[in-house]
Amino acid sequence: MPYVSKQFGTHESSYGNMGIPPHDHLKNTYTGSNITTVEYFRGGQQDAGKLVARLELTYDGAGNLLTVTRTD
């Protein structure tokens, strides 16, 4: 059953709470040992495909995860 995400439009409920659509590849960016960005791509080879979603992760001074925000 679809739902409407006020920020990202209509998505199938199977996409989960972050509304990340189907994707073929993902790319993680690290700062030290912490993942700071996750980019999801569809089509193409690796990150040459279309960017369909991006998550930004923040951490406190001890390296504990604080927030996960979808920015794209």
Residues 6+ apart with CB under 8 A from 15: 21
For residues 11-37, average pLDDT: 82
List 15's β-bridge partners, or say none: none
Q: For residues 28 and 23, which has the higher predicted lDDT (pLDDT)?
A: 28
For residues 51-60, average pLDDT: 95
Domain spans, the chain: 18-70
pTM of the model: 0.74
The DSSP H or E segment spanning 38 is strand 34-42
CA 5-56-12 angle, 5° bins: 25
The number of angstroms, rounded, from the C-alpha of 68 to the middle of its chain's C-alpha atoms is 9
Given a cut of 70, is residue 55 above it in pLDDT?
yes
